Amino acid sequence: MMRTNLSVLLVCLFSIWSVTSEVVASEADVNQKWCTQVNGITEFRTKDGTFVDCYTNEYAVEAEYDYNWKEAVGQSLHYAESTGKKAGILFIKRAVSKKNYLAQMKRVIEEFDLPIEIFTTEE
């Protein structure tokens, strides 16, 4: 019985790890493709030792899936301050999203007059 439980636990953990690593890789892949299209540099290191997802002539862009938009707001502002570029967010819309995360993010950016440019792409 103990061996069966351990086997089930290992299968569950592997499944979770596989799904999680696939999501992270997909975000990186989406960013890489988009950043190349806009002639940007991926993983640009800032003076603070942080990494901008896509660094262009004009913007320091944080790429993030739609459900993580709140994190993207803060990171994009940090990258802008750290690089002297304008803040940008690459908003990655997932096909499975049921909420309008883009509207939520735009509402906050507008309410507080945040200097953030939003770029959108599909997953």
Question: Would you write out the chain's pLDDT as a tens digit for each of its 123 residues?
Answer: 545 554 454 444 444 444 444 444 488 999 999 999 999 999 999 999 999 999 999 999 999 999 999 999 999 999 999 999 999 999 999 999 999 999 999 999 999 999 999 999 998
Residue 119 tokens read as: 């770029």
Prediction pTM value: 0.79
Is residue 20 one of the residues assigned to a domain?
A: no
Is residue 70 one of the residues assigned to a domain?
A: yes
What is residue 51's predicted lDDT score, i.e. its pLDDT?
Answer: 97
Domain that holds residue 96: 27-122
Is residue 7 one of the residues assigned to a domain?
A: no
Strands in 116-122's sheet, in edge-to-edge order, are 41-45, 51-55, 59-65, 86-93, 116-122
Is residue 22 one of the residues assigned to a domain?
A: no
What is residue 113's predicted lDDT score, i.e. its pLDDT?
Answer: 98
- Residue 5 region by backbone torsions, left for phi larger than 0, else alpha for psi between -120 and 50, else beta: alpha
Is residue 3 one of the residues assigned to a domain?
A: no
What's the total number of domains in the chain?
Answer: 1
Is residue 15 one of the residues assigned to a domain?
A: no
